A and B are shown apart, each in its own frame.
Chain A
């Protein structure tokens, strides 16, 4: 933690707000969000639907524009950061192109960014290994299970040189057992690659298990209600979820979510 304190700020938001103009009047998707994500952090965003967690991730990625406040990504505006290809984005669905094999799907960003063929080959091999999909490169997406497809989409986001990984409920559609397994793998991958990860979820155990920092959000207007620095060690076996320390953090997250909810009613 002390190391992180002086670290470079990867995402820095001040009084960030985003209002969608709709037929029924303005919708405040985000309001007054202040947040710092340091290099090497694993930050989870948790909250009920409509709390703006996905919107915040999309603002970082320059897929939405903030309407007020300020946000910097790697010290740049989100648009500059996107144009500098500063981040990899993992969507809720794998969004693999069905007409491309797994390795060609991973090659897609590399082709667009102009990596050489030899470099592409080496990177495909390396990232397939990172997500434990070695040997599946020649398969088409439909030949893989949902969990494997999502791992392939993570490999695709890891293939190019971006230090920031944005993940929007990547395991939301998967069953509990597969999800546990992927969470464990994701932590290992994070340790190996030293990336900064922003991770949107609606699962409390997932958020607590994965994160160094948990951002609890609540809806209408979408805002941050609590930021919890995790005290769990970096090495986390799945059994850590039974420890009192883990349960204490989970309890605090649940309290934060409940507080946000009562405000709404």
Chain B
């Protein structure tokens, strides 16, 4: 019942913004591709009307800014029209990136939770670990990623794992910070209550701190899953471009296949949106199972 109410309310604003973006995109594509087209036309002694000129700016094979329909066409060709085992299939490349994203996300979430549990229970860990954790996120990932790939490659670890390591590196942080906050979220009165029962630290942890931290966990997991995807894509850039969304981006850049780059970008964004949405749906289900008030 709430779905019927929610649906148009959600779709309409998003669709409006989408239309505006597409409109701006077309105008920008025309303006940015026009100088090159004018050059070409001049050299080829082609004289065209205004409308045809615009049509030609939107149909270049290697435009500076591809038009939305070019990107859409490319996306369609490389997903629906191609077998998923093909090297040119975006679904294939998406899957390569997705698998390392998921492995990295799982490890990152686990690591983040473990760090948070440690920090909440051991005072010394907070002081010793926290500055390092924060410092770790200040290092530009683009600088670290190639080193991770090279070092792991030198000891014979290649393929999915090095990329997953980078995803883990990016995704543990939001989870750790969120879970420290979540595990500390019980109010004093709730902790006092546990004390009056003479509850053990483990009982307080499992019966109070963990359930209280669940909403924080899902909020940070939404950030973490997106960061994992970025990590996986960044991890694919220096691997010699074998497969994955990142390799498609790199290959597109090498050969000035701007349409390919944009298609890969869109595919990456769709993947990110789907991942975040899945985390959101799971969060909603868990919230309902935990007696949460329907929003």
Query: How many A-B Cβ pairs are below 8 Å?
Result: 53
Q: Which of A19-27, A106-114, A120-128, A187-195 makes up part of the contact surface?
A: A106-114
Q: Would you call A140 an interface residue if the criterion is a C-beta within 8 Å of the partner chain's C-beta atoms?
A: yes
Q: Which of B25-33, B171-179, B189-197, B227-235 makes up part of the contact surface?
A: B189-197
A98 touching B207 by the CB < 8 A rule? Answer: no
A111 touching B193 by the CB < 8 A rule? Answer: no
Task: Give bound CA distance, A108 to B195, whole Å.
Answer: 13
Q: Would you call B290 an interface residue if the criterion is a C-beta within 8 Å of the partner chain's C-beta atoms?
A: yes
B197 touching A109 by the CB < 8 A rule? Answer: yes
Q: Would you call A263 an interface residue if the criterion is a C-beta within 8 Å of the partner chain's C-beta atoms?
A: no
A93 touching B189 by the CB < 8 A rule? Answer: yes
Q: Would you call B208 an interface residue if the criterion is a C-beta within 8 Å of the partner chain's C-beta atoms?
A: yes
Please give me the residue from chain B that is nearest to A92 by CB atom: B189
Chain A residues whose C-beta falls within 8 Å of the C-beta of B194 in the assembled complex: 112
Task: Give bound CA distance, A77 to B168, whole Å.
Answer: 50
**B 194-205 to A, binary, CB cutoff 8 A, 1 in contact else 0:** 111111000100
Q: Which residues of chain A from 36 to 66 have any CB-CB distance to chain B below 8 Å in the complex? A: 61-63
Q: Would you call B10 an interface residue if the criterion is a C-beta within 8 Å of the partner chain's C-beta atoms?
A: no
Chain A residues whose C-beta falls within 8 Å of the C-beta of B207 in the assembled complex: 108, 111-112
Chain B interface mostly: helix
A89 touching B193 by the CB < 8 A rule? Answer: yes
B291 touching A98 by the CB < 8 A rule? Answer: yes
Chain B residues whose C-beta falls within 8 Å of the C-beta of A136 in the assembled complex: none
Q: Would you call B211 an interface residue if the criterion is a C-beta within 8 Å of the partner chain's C-beta atoms?
A: yes
Q: Would you call A8 an interface residue if the criterion is a C-beta within 8 Å of the partner chain's C-beta atoms?
A: no
Cβ contact of B291, chosen from A61, A101, A113, cutoff 8 A? A101
B195 touching A95 by the CB < 8 A rule? Answer: no
Q: Would you call B5 an interface residue if the criterion is a C-beta within 8 Å of the partner chain's C-beta atoms?
A: no
Task: Give bound CA distance, A46 to B251, whole Å.
Answer: 78
Please give me the residue from chain A that is nearest to B293 by CB atom: A142
Q: Would you call A87 an interface residue if the criterion is a C-beta within 8 Å of the partner chain's C-beta atoms?
A: yes
Chain A residues whose C-beta falls within 8 Å of the C-beta of B193 in the assembled complex: 89, 91, 95
Of the listed residues B187, B194, B196, B199, the one surrounded by the most CB atoms of chain A closer than 10 A to its CB is B196
**Provided the pairs A112-B203, A112-B207, A142-B293 are in contact, do residues A97 and B190 lie with their beta carbons within 8 angstroms?**
yes
Task: Give bound CA distance, A98 to B288, whole Å.
Answer: 12
Please give me the residue from chain B that is nearest to A94 by CB atom: B189
Chain A residues whose C-beta falls within 8 Å of the C-beta of B190 in the assembled complex: 95, 97
Q: Would you call A100 an interface residue if the criterion is a C-beta within 8 Å of the partner chain's C-beta atoms?
A: yes
Cβ contact of A112, chosen from B187, B189, B197, B290, cutoff 8 A? B197
B197 touching A97 by the CB < 8 A rule? Answer: no
Cβ contact of B211, chosen from A92, A97, A109, cutoff 8 A? A97
Chain B residues whose C-beta falls within 8 Å of the C-beta of A99 in the assembled complex: 211, 214, 290-292
B290 touching A89 by the CB < 8 A rule? Answer: no
Given A82-B195, A82-B196, list of 7 further CB < 8 A pairs? A85-B198, A88-B196, A89-B192, A89-B193, A89-B196, A91-B192, A97-B208
A interface residues (Cβ-Cβ under 8 A, vs B): 61-63, 82-83, 85, 87-89, 91-93, 95, 97-101, 108-109, 111-113, 140, 142
B interface residues (Cβ-Cβ under 8 A, vs A): 187, 189-190, 192-199, 203, 207-208, 211, 214, 290-293
